[in-house]
Structure 1
Amino acid sequence: MVVGDVTTGTEVLVIGAGPAGYVAAIRAGQLDLDVTLVEKDAYGGTCLNYGCIPSKAMITATDIAHEARHAEAMGIHADPAIDLSGMVGWKDDVVSQLTSGVEKLCKANGVNLLEGTATFVDENTARIAHGGEGQGSETIEFEHAIVATGSRPISIPDFSFDDPPVLNSRQALSLESVPDSMAVVGAGYIGMELANVFAKLGTDVTVIEMMDSILPGYDDDLKRPVKKRAEDLGIDFHFGYTASEWYEPGVDIRVVAEPVDGAAANGGSEAPRASETGSGESASASRETIEDERLELDVETVLIAVGREPVSDALDLEAAGVETDEGGFIETDSRARTTVDHIYAVGDVAGEPMLAHTGSAEGQVAAEVIAGEPAALDHQAMPAVVFTDPEIATVGMTETEAAEAGFDPVVGQFPFRASGRALTTGESDGFVKVVAEEDDGFVLGASIVGPEASELIAELGLAIELGATLEDVAATVHAHPTLGESVMEAAENALSRAIHTLNR
């Protein structure tokens, strides 16, 4: 029996319960607005269920195993056995705890939860189709709407995620056994994080990237320690290639990649040619050959990590008058408003930077604007983190960006190899770099590569947000021995008075 269509009303309709949507809904509830939150899959969205949290759980688990296996210098000799199903089960428990917490928080803040898929009927009406046979649909009339439908992995031609050997990040994080070999297509943050995970699990990993380096958009000095560590893990790189096809010649699959624009541009660890090995095989588990600059890899599985695209195509945005750009992203202003003033877009669906914490901040802004508060989003202190080994974290401007913006930048840097705490952890690669205006010392930006970069960047983000100077950071006494001292020392280095490193 099909349930008849009913019509209800709400002040604020939030579509999507990821970190942008559920935060917007909770904040709107705190502001005494009547809120309805629609979610078709799972509370917490991709971030909590399939992305940020699961990947960091797996990164932590594999780091522990790897560190135990390579701690001989500390007098520790171990060879831990990895139970991948147990590891995945632990990861799933973490996810379940967080997603159930999101649901409880929404209810505690008066948010009406509704399961289903939303599409716009017009600029003040949406239809919610409930999943399952006979569940029917309902119509919601709203005064304001917040679109927070997120993003999904981009697929590439001839590599369908419906084919078992071809994985997206979500599927890779749920594997039941460790593959012997894997090709990773894409050396962005997702590709590099998961390449590290599987290399530490014992998989023979080869990365294929169309650009000439890993992590496009990050400075070379930040990427260099990450690439070296990846190569130490046995990860091979082939730059300047695009994956073109795959097929099954035998037990494994064969992934074929072509040079970008027909030109060989291999900037990584080059595979030996068949004529050099005699057998046409490399010493690694993934057999690779290059013939006439065409790359062929025999691997057990292939992970496609070439980026993400907005989930906006099924919303019928045109019916509401909401415009998107050519990529399907919804255009917004600093107050998260779309081309229709009472409809907002937050999170990945609103475009770069596609970061969970950015989406959460946008969600709060949207809720506050709807409530009549003078809120707006300022991106100048928005951090970005890559959870590779070692981690990378940035906030604010680089030295080049500061100069281009008309500042006269001064830079201070402190290497982790001079940090007593870093040495005691066995992780001393990398540095802290601080960028400031030379005349008045105001902190403009910072970048970190090294241990706990994701945590250390918060202090420098706060410095930018508060308008702090190098003197403020340097004069703040930091506990010893800590990694945080490196931030203080970098500020002191910019002031030419660092104690534990040579001054500029």
Structure 2
Amino acid sequence: MSAYDVIFIGSGPGGYVGAIRAAQLGLKTAVVEGRETLGGTCLNVGCIPSKALLHATHMLHEAQHNFGTMGLKGKAPSVDWKQMLQYKDDTIGQNTGGIEFLFKKNKIDWIKGWGSIPEAGKVKVGDDVHDAKHIIVATGSEVSPLKGVEVDEKTIVSSTGALTLPKVPKQMIVIGAGVIGLELGSVYARLGAEVTVIEYLDHITPGQDAETARQFQKMLTKQGLKFILGAAVQSATKKGNKATVSYKLRKDDSEHTLTADTVLLATGRRPYTDGLGLAELGVEMTDRGQIKTDDHYRTNVDGIYAIGDAIAGPMLAHKAEDEGMACAEGIAGQHPHVNYGVIPGVIYTHPEVGSVGETEETLKEAGRAYKVGKFSFMGNARAKANFAGDGFVKILADKETDRILGAHIIGPMAGDLIHEICVAMEFGAAAEDLARTCHAHPTYSEAVREAALACGDGPIHM
């Protein structure tokens, strides 16, 4: 078998991006992947297909609610669910095929099959054993199970099954008010399903800035989603083609049930490391089942590294990408650095939610003096013209130095607007630096400038 400088196990965003970077730096590189297509969970059954359905259903919402106001007359479109799923599948195919092309372009070998590590420096795939100076575990994550809830991917589904339902359910129960549950819940709500979200905590989007989360919940409620908060799910049982969820309200321990055509389990994900042989190798793990690594993604076993969802930190595709690149660059002798204080998070509902850095809650907990600059999209001309005036931009800055510490945007294109603030934070900018930067008019980005102005003498348009 060929000897490699680097073998990545897993072709998700961490694995494939890291492999391309390694190849660019002159390392002989291979990627082990057992799926029929490259791209991991993200491209095949995660980020990309869900965004396709979010886009399609947002277009439906616009046609149903806003076209008439703009003078676009005619019968509202009907939903061809089979065609919508085909559009989603075509989107997946274009992206996974694109990675295969990039592998060929960069002379990266795709070793097809499921990999294990019998010893340091060896990767076993099927009956073949491949030599590698450096082995990078990029196996990603899987759906976290919940006691009493058995997923069959038909009636009780994970995010994977929710992307391939044979028809749009009349009622859907979503267990978990995190990113995945709210994105897919909003897809089916737009398609006409009655969606109820059950969440253990007393608020949605755990870890989100509290004010942003409250506003977000109000907006989603207005769109038809129902919320049962502070509820501990006890079980989900299937009977015929329906499922019943039993839950207890934490405030009074009262027991309740709810029945629907489909139940979506969206309580989070956990690292997927089964079958790698890590325990036999003596690779150290954290209490949460993550692979323990140092600042250079090295495990305690020489020559074995880990990145992405398999290690500590937020389970985000772009975090895995940065780690994959940094790990490859470190192996090539460079000195990379991932700034974990500037990793944005985005929820791709409508409106979108974008966030980066500190929240008001984390700053209060740390006892840090801060100021808030806030601006509503109702004061933004472009947003008002596009029926997108709900939401706001909030910038958190150090009270003394004015340095930007975090930002939270709920509104149009929030997932894109947040990156202006990410770049500013990467350069250690003050809110005044953003406020004094000319922004084109009329654009949504002006709301970011206005929020920065609000950290000083005040916004212009409010």
TM range (shorter): over 0.9
Q: Distance in 1 between matches of 2:243 and 2:273?
A: 33
The aligned counterpart of 2:300 is: 339
CA contact (8 A) 1:335 1:377 kept: no
State the secondary structure of the residue aligned to 1:103: helix
CA contact (8 A) 1:120 1:319 kept: no
- Per the TM alignment, residue 76 of structure 1 is displaced from its structure 2 partner at its CA by 4.4
Greater alpha carbon shift after TM alignment, 337-346 vs 457-466: 337-346
Q: Flag the 1:13–1:319 CA change in 2: closer, same or farther, 3 A.
A: farther
CA contact (8 A) 1:253 1:301 kept: yes
Amino acid at match of 1:12: V
Greater alpha carbon shift after TM alignment, 370-379 vs 407-416: 407-416
Aligned residue-pair number: 459
1:193-212 alignment to 2 at 5 Å? 193-212=183-202
State the secondary structure of the residue aligned to 2:440: coil
The aligned counterpart of 2:63 is: 68
Partner of residue 103 from structure 1, selected from 83, 100, 103 = 100
The aligned counterpart of 2:168 is: 178
State the secondary structure of the residue aligned to 1:447: strand
Amino acid at match of 2:340: H
The aligned counterpart of 2:212 is: 222
Partner of residue 81 from structure 1, selected from 78, 81, 87 = 78
Q: Distance in 1 between matches of 2:153 and 2:367?
A: 51
The aligned counterpart of 2:147 is: 157
State the secondary structure of the residue aligned to 1:238: strand
TM-score by length of 1: 0.87
Q: Which runs of 5+ in 2 are unaligned?
A: none
Q: Flag the 1:295–1:66 CA change in 2: closer, same or farther, 3 A.
A: same
CA contact (8 A) 2:116 2:124 kept: yes
State the secondary structure of the residue aligned to 1:445: strand
Greater alpha carbon shift after TM alignment, 115-124 vs 74-83: 74-83
* CA deviation profile, 1:270-327 (whole Å, cap 9, x unmatched): xxxxxxxxxxxxxxxxxxxxxxx32211211111111101111221112333211132
State the secondary structure of the residue aligned to 2:13: coil
CA contact (8 A) 1:313 1:328 kept: no
Amino acid at match of 1:382: I
State the secondary structure of the residue aligned to 2:459: coil
Q: Distance in 1 between matches of 2:452 and 2:302?
A: 43
- Per the TM alignment, residue 170 of structure 1 is displaced from its structure 2 partner at its CA by 1.0
Q: Flag the 1:251–1:336 CA change in 2: closer, same or farther, 3 A.
A: closer
CA contact (8 A) 1:334 1:377 kept: no
1:30-429 alignment to 2 at 5 Å? 30-41=24-35, 42-71=37-66, 72-76=68-72, 78-129=75-126, 137-162=127-152, 164-249=154-239, 252-260=242-250, 263-264=251-252, 293-402=254-363, 405=366, 407-429=368-390
Q: Distance in 1 between matches of 2:404 and 2:422?
A: 9
CA contact (8 A) 1:24 1:367 kept: yes
Q: Flag the 1:326–1:406 CA change in 2: closer, same or farther, 3 A.
A: closer
Amino acid at match of 2:46: G
Q: Flag the 1:258–1:470 CA change in 2: closer, same or farther, 3 A.
A: closer
CA contact (8 A) 1:332 1:344 kept: yes
Q: Distance in 1 between matches of 2:85 and 2:14?
A: 26
* CA deviation profile, 1:336-381 (whole Å, cap 9, x unmatched): 2222242211111113211000000000000000001111222111
Amino acid at match of 1:118: G
Amino acid at match of 2:189: A
Q: Flag the 1:319–1:433 CA change in 2: closer, same or farther, 3 A.
A: same
Q: Distance in 1 between matches of 2:40 and 2:361?
A: 36
Q: Distance in 2 between matches of 1:341 and 1:451?
A: 47
CA contact (8 A) 1:124 1:320 kept: no
Amino acid at match of 1:376: H
Q: Distance in 1 between matches of 2:189 and 2:124?
A: 46
The aligned counterpart of 1:288 is: none
CA contact (8 A) 2:209 2:360 kept: no
Q: Distance in 2 between matches of 1:68 and 1:370?
A: 51
Q: Distance in 2 between matches of 1:371 and 1:185?
A: 44
- Per the TM alignment, residue 163 of structure 1 is displaced from its structure 2 partner at its CA by 5.8
Q: Distance in 1 between matches of 2:252 and 2:352?
A: 30
Greater alpha carbon shift after TM alignment, 398-407 vs 487-496: 398-407
State the secondary structure of the residue aligned to 1:439: coil
Q: Distance in 2 between matches of 1:417 and 1:82?
A: 32
Amino acid at match of 2:130: I
State the secondary structure of the residue aligned to 2:409: strand
CA contact (8 A) 2:173 2:196 kept: yes
CA contact (8 A) 2:439 2:446 kept: yes
Greater alpha carbon shift after TM alignment, 385-394 vs 240-249: 240-249
The answer as to 2:452 corresponding to 1:458 is no
- Per the TM alignment, residue 250 of structure 1 is displaced from its structure 2 partner at its CA by 5.6
Q: Which runs of 5+ in 1 are unaligned?
A: 1-6, 130-136, 266-292
Q: Distance in 2 between matches of 1:439 and 1:297?
A: 51
RMSD: 1.8
TM-score by length of 2: 0.95
State the secondary structure of the residue aligned to 2:58: helix
Amino acid at match of 1:164: K
Q: Distance in 1 between matches of 2:108 and 2:381?
A: 49
Amino acid at match of 1:421: R
Greater Rg over alpha carbons, structure: 1
- Per the TM alignment, residue 93 of structure 1 is displaced from its structure 2 partner at its CA by 0.6
Q: Flag the 1:300–1:114 CA change in 2: closer, same or farther, 3 A.
A: same
CA contact (8 A) 1:434 1:443 kept: yes
Amino acid at match of 2:243: I
Q: Percent same amino acid at aligned positions?
A: 41
- Per the TM alignment, residue 408 of structure 1 is displaced from its structure 2 partner at its CA by 3.1
Amino acid at match of 1:492: L
Q: Flag the 1:370–1:249 CA change in 2: closer, same or farther, 3 A.
A: closer
